[in-house]
Homo-oligomer: A and B are copies of this chain.
Amino acid sequence: MPLPNHSLDAELRARARLVIPGGLWGHLNAARLPEGYPQYFASAEGCRLRDVDGREFIDFMCSWGPVVLGHHHPVVEAAAREQAALGDCMNGPAPVLVELAELLVGLIPHADWCLLAKNGTDATTACVTIARAATGRRKLLVARGSYHGAVPWCSPSVAGVTAEDRAHLISFDYNDAASLDAALAEAGSDLAAVIVTPFRHDFGRDQELATASFARHLREACDAAGAALILDDVRAGFRLHLGGSWEPLGVRPDLAAYSKAIANGHPLAAITGAERFREAATEVYTTGSFWCGAVPMAAAVATLRELRRIDGPARMRAMGERLRDGLDHLARRHGLAVRQTGPAQMPLMTFADDADWRKGDGFCAEALRHGAYFHPRHNMFLSCAHGEADIDRALEAADAGFRAVRRMD
């Protein structure tokens, strides 16, 4: 499926460049994606995307996380429509808020309470602010390279950021207890919190699971210091485990940030917290114009119940493993060395000896032409809409991708 010569995507990009800085803000800007990737999409269904030029793809980005049950999931959309018919944005919440809050507190063992918001960044920022309010301290430990949002205290860009925005941040290396201990020592008695992603999923590098010993060390260190352990589960939440991504490690945070998959694409975020932080969460002022909007809450209730009913994480893991096994098999058959990292639900495949991403980009560009939307540098996402036939079909596209990489040498 080559891009047609007269492409609607190119036309839209040209129009957008006039009225949107850089053509598009943020992580969905396709400018740095391999050749042929579309920027504009016409429609979506299940695990399939159709771009504005009529090409259809089996999608492995799921809007970079939000789509966890598949586009147009009937149960979620019925719940959203039913609430929309009553009301969405009113002078206060609809009863579904209480239903959702009780569901979250029931699902997530560390959670005694929750707050809702709209962006992952709202949730991580609120966690940090609550931790500071609760402890009366300022220092925040962050793993070098971890993404926690797109505002000055945590943005990956330093444009417009002042030194003061990051004055109380101290960095450590993920999974490195010695580095963490050095950072803890630097924070001393002013440590408010450590914020950490459930595994290392930094853009542009292989993923790395948290070791159980590191997670436990972190928990013990926060307890010893009287500081908050904040789990930034925005990207991974509800894909790996419905109770929080560190449940399999047996390590529970004090505060956690959720967004992305929580409502299958409807805009919502959540902060969950332990009892000890409830008072601080009451004192901190965090709100937004649409945070009581009832439709995304109804979608979230339906999404979380459906994920629980079908054991969504297990299903996505199985399909992720099928993809990973297939990719391994194909790579070996083509004599190509690849690394596959991260949890199976959020896989990443990179090539050996590919510092300039030439192989990864070439693989993805060719797979895209054969109908699979992979990503060469950012973790991908499975959804519950991916079935065996979809994975097998995507593997045929991957086969073409590997062939293209072989032709490069």
Contacts and interface: CB of A to CB of B under 8 A. Distances in A.
A335 interface: no
A265 B151 CA distance: 24
A252 interface: no
A281 to B, nearest CB: 4
Given A119-B118, A289-B120, A87 B26 contact: no
Contacts of A156: 285
Interface of A: 8, 12, 15-16, 18-22, 24-28, 30, 38-45, 49, 52, 59, 61, 63-67, 71, 77, 84, 86-95, 97-98, 101-102, 104-105, 112-116, 118-122, 125, 128-134, 138, 150-152, 155-157, 159-162, 164-165, 167-168, 234, 259-260, 265-267, 269, 273, 278-293, 296, 373
A86 B40 contact: no
B162 A43 contact: no
A72 to B, nearest CB: 8
Nearest to A134: B160
A280 B266 CA distance: 30
Given A15-B98, A102-B15, A265-B290, A42 B113 contact: no
A24 B20 CA distance: 36
8 contacts: A19-B105, A28-B92, A28-B292, A38-B92, A42-B87, A44-B88, A120-B289, A157-B283
A63 B44 CA distance: 31
B63 A90 contact: yes
A113 B27 contact: no
Given A162-B167, A265-B293, A12 B95 contact: yes
Contacts of A260: 289
A115 B25 contact: yes
B278 A98 contact: no
Given A27-B287, A43-B87, 4 more contacts: A41-B90, A44-B90, A119-B290, A155-B284
B288 A20 contact: no
Nearest to A39: B92
Contacts of A291: 25-26, 28
A129 B165 CA distance: 11
A18 B19 CA distance: 47
A89 B118 contact: no
